[in-house]
A and B are shown apart, each in its own frame.
Chain A
Amino acid sequence: MLSTLKYIAVVLWSAFVVAPLLWALTTSFKTANGVTGGPTYLPYIGFEPSLDGWRSLFGGAGGIDIVRPYMDSLIVTSSASLISIVLGTLAAYGLSRFEYRAGFVKNTDIIFFFISQRIMPPIVLAIPFFLMLQFLGLLDTKIGLILVYVALLLPIAVWIMVDFFDGVPRQIDEMAMLDGCTPFEAFWRIVLPNSMPGILVASMFCVIFGWNDFFFAFTLTFTDTQLLPVAVVSLNSSVTPWWSLSASALVSVAPLILIAIFVERLLSRGTLAGAIR
């Protein structure tokens, strides 16, 4: 009885999650007639399938070329995430293991300084970022966006990794040093391989944030560089091309779904659980 209820709940939840994707999938194969003809889901029976929506992604009629924004998004997101994770992990290890002091400023203050960067709403940051990038001549460039994203992602990485390293017993580092490692080797050869779960979680947050960001991509780039979320929104005109919009939504969400599946695999294998002890 209980398991039946459980299955019903799971099925309902799956429908709730899958339905919008299904809707987008069918819509992406429709034409203007198919979209306005009321809700239909079965190709050939409910509507006449067409590849117009998908073609428009590659510069077809009524669409824009989405390949370049897609690549730009991939480059910007992965570079910014990678830089943030590398710097964030190093900073977090230092903050977790060593004591820093500059007058009344101590480790916890430094950590708060990092996190406090995310307290302000994005709109407050937009103008300073704009002016800074303009000064550097980096407006409308990938490098400029990467810099901005690193500034936004680094606090997340530091925060997650400090918390993670604090949970790793200091004895692990001490033991590695007793076994003959320098402090950096202890971090590199022992603590880091043990910290993959934390790094994975932090990377996931960084990638999701970077990939989904619209606001900064919109305010800091114009024509030379265009990220995927901006490109997708620019499809919207007086007559909304639902078909190409759906197709582009599907390809934009695809990497995140792949990441979700990958992380879920690791979770179920127990790789993320009980990293220490």
Chain B
Amino acid sequence: MASIHLDQIGHSYGTAVYALEKTDMHFEDGKTYALLGPSGCGKTTMLNIISGLLTPSDGRVLLGGTDVTRTRTAERNIAQVFQFPVVYQSKTVFENLAFPLHCRGWDRSRIATRVAEIADLLGLTSRLSQSARRLTADEKQLISLGRGLVRNDVAALLMDEPLTVIDPHMKFDLRRRIKQANDQTRHTVVYVTHDQNEAMTFADEVLVMSAGRVVQRGTPQQLFEAPRNLYVGNFIGSPGMNFVRAERLDGDLRLDGVPLVGADRCRGIAPDAEIVLGIRPEHIAFAQGEELGVPASIVSAQDHGSLLVVDVAVGSDRLRMKVRRDVSFPAGQARLRVSSDQVRLYVDGVLVN
């Protein structure tokens, strides 16, 4: 196990465009990180640079403080699980799981014990003597994962969207098993995904990426509560954050005439700057009784199981709010209560305060 330090790392695949913009990044020892972002944003490139499958165009890779930029993949001792299962077809399940240990020159009995442990953890014990050729995609991916976990001395465990090919009903189970294995081994884990739920459940810290750069890193809670810019606000949460232009009157920020945010929070913002309010759908509710609320008209409601996502129009803006199923709300016109301390302010697309 080791910390990972990417020192001014950047990479381009032979074109002027950088797949990974020059960046400095530190992953602490024993923590789990999620790289979250849409396809083609540089997540996989970053993993391949860490594991040495790719030599970066710029910068240095440090594992536990040692410069490994020019060190071979094999000598870095990193485990990586790819998006699509990779099994050695000519070998049995046992031989597949034992291969990394063979490469490290373990003796036979030690290998047998260790493989048995991992097979037990992943529920593959009954399959050990089978040929790897005839397994289902789920099982093959479990083997890929197993080959990563079987060495207990790896510097880091990198996972590149390992659950993409897995059946939905298996996903939950597999996620649990991965998490369980992680908790046992306490590796430094970097987990690439485009599924925010996966990122949020796995990771101590989430890094949101876009177009080759890390836009924001923080705990799942930080990303949810204070997205640094409109991109993160949109990307995190389902549905994403609402963004509406605020009216600025007597120093207050208002939405359709109703004051939402006090003048004290606008300190330091140029008086003529255009301010956008970021409001999570979770932080909007229907006003009760005589409460002052933002007048709105209800456009539509979508059933999301235990929740309804309601589309409402405020002036010329559209907002989405999450409402518990059992809450009754008026048809047509309504008033909205917005928790003002949860409202975030954005100038030029970037969070202020």
The residues of A with any CB-CB pair to B shorter than 8 Å are 169, 171-172, 174-182, 185, 190, 193-194, 196, 274-277
Contact indicator A274/B80 (Cβ below 8 Å): no
Contact indicator A180/B53 (Cβ below 8 Å): no
Give chain A residues whose Cβ lies under 8 Å from the Cβ of B90.
193-194, 196
C-alpha gap A182/B76 in the complex (Å): 12
Among listed B27-35, B81-89, B315-323, interface-contacting one: B81-89
* Chain A interface main SS type: helix
A136 to chain B, nearest CB (A): 41
Contact indicator A175/B89 (Cβ below 8 Å): no
Contact indicator A177/B72 (Cβ below 8 Å): yes
* Chain A residue, CB-CB nearest to B100: A179
* Chain B residue, CB-CB nearest to A274: B133
Task: Tell whether A180 pairs with B86 under 8 Å between CB atoms, given A174-B53, A175-B144, A274-B133.
Answer: no
* Chain B residue, CB-CB nearest to A185: B103
Q: Is B73 an interface residue (CB 8 A)?
A: yes
The A-B contact count (CB < 8 A) is 58
Report which of A171, A196, A274 forms a contact with B86, defined as CB distance below 8 A. A171
Contact indicator A181/B74 (Cβ below 8 Å): yes
> Would you mind naming 27 contact pairs between A and B with Cβ atoms under 8 Å apart?
A169-B84, A169-B86, A171-B84, A171-B86, A172-B86, A172-B88, A174-B73, A175-B82, A175-B86, A176-B88, A176-B99, A177-B72, A177-B73, A178-B51, A178-B73, A179-B74, A179-B99, A180-B74, A180-B104, A181-B74, A181-B103, A185-B103, A193-B88, A193-B90, A193-B91, A194-B89, A274-B133
A234 to chain B, nearest CB (A): 46
Contact indicator B74/A175 (Cβ below 8 Å): no
Q: Is B284 an interface residue (CB 8 A)?
A: no
Q: Is B166 an interface residue (CB 8 A)?
A: no
Give chain B residues whose Cβ lies under 8 Å from the Cβ of A171.
82, 84, 86
Give chain B residues whose Cβ lies under 8 Å from the Cβ of A175.
80, 82, 86, 144, 147
Interface residues in B52-67 by Cβ distance below 8 A to A read 52-53
Report which of B82, B103, B144 forms a contact with A180, defined as CB distance below 8 A. B103
Report which of B72, B133, B147 forms a contact with A182, defined as CB distance below 8 A. B72
Contact indicator A182/B74 (Cβ below 8 Å): yes
Give chain B residues whose Cβ lies under 8 Å from the Cβ of A182.
72, 74
Q: Is B189 an interface residue (CB 8 A)?
A: no
Among all A-B residue pairs, the 5 with the closest Cβ atoms = A180-B103, A193-B90, A179-B100, A177-B73, A175-B86
A118 to chain B, nearest CB (A): 31
C-alpha gap A220/B104 in the complex (Å): 52
Contact indicator A275/B89 (Cβ below 8 Å): yes
A27 to chain B, nearest CB (A): 46
Q: Is B79 an interface residue (CB 8 A)?
A: yes
C-alpha gap A179/B72 in the complex (Å): 12
Contact indicator A178/B72 (Cβ below 8 Å): no
Q: Is B119 an interface residue (CB 8 A)?
A: no
B65 to chain A, nearest CB (A): 22
Q: Is B200 an interface residue (CB 8 A)?
A: no
Contact indicator B133/A178 (Cβ below 8 Å): no
Of B74, B79, B100, most A-chain CB atoms within 10 Å: B74
B198 to chain A, nearest CB (A): 21
Give chain B residues whose Cβ lies under 8 Å from the Cβ of A181.
74, 103
C-alpha gap A194/B88 in the complex (Å): 7
Give chain B residues whose Cβ lies under 8 Å from the Cβ of A172.
86, 88
Contact indicator A177/B88 (Cβ below 8 Å): no
Q: Is B232 an interface residue (CB 8 A)?
A: no
Give chain A residues whose Cβ lies under 8 Å from the Cβ of B51.
178
C-alpha gap A181/B104 in the complex (Å): 9
Q: Is B78 an interface residue (CB 8 A)?
A: yes
C-alpha gap A169/B140 in the complex (Å): 15
A189 to chain B, nearest CB (A): 8
Give chain A residues whose Cβ lies under 8 Å from the Cβ of B72.
177, 182
C-alpha gap A177/B53 in the complex (Å): 9
Report which of B52, B53, B82, B103 forms a contact with A179, defined as CB distance below 8 A. B103
Give chain A residues whose Cβ lies under 8 Å from the Cβ of B147.
175, 179
A106 to chain B, nearest CB (A): 13
* Chain B residue, CB-CB nearest to A178: B80
C-alpha gap A169/B84 in the complex (Å): 10
C-alpha gap A6/B82 in the complex (Å): 47
Of A171, A176, A180, A185, most B-chain CB atoms within 10 Å: A180
* Chain B residue, CB-CB nearest to A172: B86
Interface residues in B186-202 by Cβ distance below 8 A to A read none
* Chain B residue, CB-CB nearest to A195: B90
C-alpha gap A178/B82 in the complex (Å): 11
Task: Tell whether A178 pairs with B78 under 8 Å between CB atoms, given A171-B84, A274-B133.
Answer: yes
Give chain B residues whose Cβ lies under 8 Å from the Cβ of A277.
89
Contact indicator A178/B89 (Cβ below 8 Å): no
Interface residues in B72-118 by Cβ distance below 8 A to A read 72-74, 77-80, 82, 84, 86, 88-91, 99-100, 103-104
For the A-B complex with A171-B82, A178-B53, A181-B103 known, give 18 more contacts whose Cβ atoms are closer than 8 Å: A169-B84, A174-B80, A174-B86, A175-B82, A175-B144, A177-B72, A178-B51, A178-B80, A179-B99, A179-B147, A180-B104, A181-B74, A182-B72, A193-B91, A194-B89, A194-B90, A275-B89, A277-B89
B251 to chain A, nearest CB (A): 58
Give chain B residues whose Cβ lies under 8 Å from the Cβ of A177.
52-53, 72-74
Give chain A residues whose Cβ lies under 8 Å from the Cβ of B86.
169, 171-172, 174-175
Contact indicator A190/B88 (Cβ below 8 Å): yes
A186 to chain B, nearest CB (A): 9
Give chain B residues whose Cβ lies under 8 Å from the Cβ of A174.
53, 73, 80, 82, 86
Give chain A residues whose Cβ lies under 8 Å from the Cβ of B104.
180
A128 to chain B, nearest CB (A): 40
C-alpha gap A174/B147 in the complex (Å): 13
Contact indicator B79/A178 (Cβ below 8 Å): yes
